[in-house]
């Protein structure tokens, strides 16, 4: 494969870095902190990107993008995640909700949902995991029971990021049954303001908005709320997971923090324990390996031939990178003086990275399920209907 992104991508990277330097405060560490001003920064910056056609750069122009290549969209992902995602929760709508609506939505759904995402005006949450259906998502019990010309949805979702702020939910519920548990599942696009939806935050070290329970008590859904065909939601979700698992360029933040470590340590770098610089070099190599694994998946997305095994291999590599780089960076940060300026930012950024990395191997599909999926592919049986997805 040729991983050269080209002049357009290089120019875009420079443009994004200038915008971030101008529009995002130096100490920004993400939108979802205890300070509401951080979320306000993200919402405002998303508008700035949208005005320039950069928020959804790879989307077709008729849907609010500018028809950029997938590689240019990858540049956007990398630059955003490296700088603690100044788009806030918009990346969910941009990376996979929007593309999925383009592929499977009706014209009405496309008109209703795609322009607000492209303008950075709407936040989505994902109604997938349940208390007894996390990695084994197809075992979910949230049920949509027929009622007149629609359904009444009842059940519980958990670990739902952004549910307290989202206007819409991309919900997977059971509408029927079949020989396999993956059958009889349907995707609904539901407004979070619908009667019968209750959100309860789950306090954690990740900060506000990331973890929530969502309860559905007789929530009304109509045929217009169904994405794709009734009972065929699993095939839609498989595509979603393929987009989602490469949609966050985790390697970019790891690489940025690793490269920043020698800068903030300065002369202290030469006095570190002998093993640390060697571990640092190996971790930097692993960050670049994860980048190339992501590029391998991205190269096939435009053709619609994404192999779940390739996605699993990337996820395994990048989540391990997340956690192991966090452990190394924590050791390095202990040698950085707690002084105002770049050094204090680095210490705070490493702490933030460590907290999020602890959840990396269970987010977007646990690493154990990714290993099962990859093993099945290597043994010749893993491409059958994506059971482990």
C-beta separation of 266 from 336 below 8 A: no
Place of tokens 């100490």: 27
For residue 184, what are its two tokens? 């009889």
Q: Is 244 part of the annotated catalytic residue set?
A: yes
For residue 76, what are its two tokens? 């956007």
C-beta separation of 72 from 80 below 8 A: no
Which conformational region is residue 228 in: left (phi greater than 0), alpha (psi within -120 to 50 degrees), or beta? left
| Segment (H or E) for 243 | helix 233-247
Distance CA 170, CA 192 (A): 10
Q: Bridge-partner residues for 221, per DSSP?
A: 151
Distance CA 163, CA 173 (A): 17
Distance CA 109, CA 127 (A): 18
123-155: burial string, b at 16+ Cβ within 10 Å, e else: bbbbbbbbeebbbebbebebbbeeeeeebbbbb
Query: Between β-strands 150-158 and 212-221, what pairing exists: parallel, antiparallel or unpaired?
Result: antiparallel
For residue 23, what are its two tokens? 């529009």
Q: Can you say whether the dihedral through the CA atoms of 372, 378, 384, 389 is positive or negative?
A: positive
**CA distances from residue 71 to 88, 190, 300 in whole angstroms, order as listed:** 21, 31, 11
N-terminal to C-terminal alpha carbon distance within the chain: 26
For residue 138, what are its two tokens? 């197809």
The 10 Å Cβ neighbour count of residue 275 is 9
207-231: burial string, b at 16+ Cβ within 10 Å, e else: bbbbbbbbbbeebebeeebbbbebb
Among 210, 333, 179, 321, residue whose Cα is nearest residue 263: 333
Note the residue count of the chain.
389
Q: Which of 79, 130, 244, 387 is catalytic?
A: 244
Show which residues are catalytic.
244
């Amino acid at each position: 494969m040729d991983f050269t992104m080209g002049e357009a991508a290089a120019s875009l990277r420079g443009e994004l870095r200038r915008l971030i330097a101008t529009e995002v405060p130096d100490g920004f560490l993400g939108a979802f902190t205890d300070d509401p001003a951080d979320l306000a920064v993200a919402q405002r910056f998303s508008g700035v990107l949208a005005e320039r056609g950069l928020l959804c750069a790879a989307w077709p122009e008729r849907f609010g993008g500018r028809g950029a290549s997938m590689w240019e969209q990858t540049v956007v992902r990398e630059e955003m995640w490296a700088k603690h995602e100044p788009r806030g929760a918009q990346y969910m709508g941009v990376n996979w909700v929007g593309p999925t609506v383009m592929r499977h939505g009706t014209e009405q759904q496309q008109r209703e949902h795609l322009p607000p995402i492209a303008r950075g005006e709407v936040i989505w949450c994902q109604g997938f995991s349940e208390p007894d259906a996390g990695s084994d998502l197809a075992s979910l019990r949230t049920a949509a029971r027929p009622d007149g010309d629609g359904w009444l949805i009842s059940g519980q979702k958990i670990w739902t990021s952004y549910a307290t702020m989202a206007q819409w939910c991309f919900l997977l519920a059971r509408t029927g049954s079949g020989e396999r548990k993956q059958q009889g599942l349907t995707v609904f696009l539901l407004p979070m303001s619908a009667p019968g939806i209750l959100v309860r935050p789950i306090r954690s070290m990740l900060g506000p908005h990331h973890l929530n329970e969502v309860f559905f008590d007789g929530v009304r859904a109509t045929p217009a709320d169904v994405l794709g065909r009734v009972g065929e939601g699993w095939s839609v979700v498989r595509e979603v997971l393929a987009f989602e698992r490469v949609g966050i360029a985790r390697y970019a933040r790891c690489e940025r923090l690793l490269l920043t470590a020698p800068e903030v340590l300065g002369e202290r770098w030469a006095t570190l324990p002998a093993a640390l610089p060697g571990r640092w070099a190996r971790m930097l190599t692993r960050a670049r390996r994860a980048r190339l694994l992501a590029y391998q998946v991205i190269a096939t997305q435009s053709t619609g031939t994404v192999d779940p095994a390739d996605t699993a291999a990337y996820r395994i590599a990048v989540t391990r990178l997340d956690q192991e780089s966090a452990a190394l960076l924590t050791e390095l940060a202990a040698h950085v003086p707690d002084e105002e300026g770049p050094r204090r930012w680095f210490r705070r950024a490493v702490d933030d990275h460590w907290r999020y990395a602890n959840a990396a191997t269970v987010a977007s599909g646990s690493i154990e399920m990714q290993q099962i999926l990859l093993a099945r592919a290597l043994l010749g049986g893993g491409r059958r209907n994506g059971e482990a997805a």
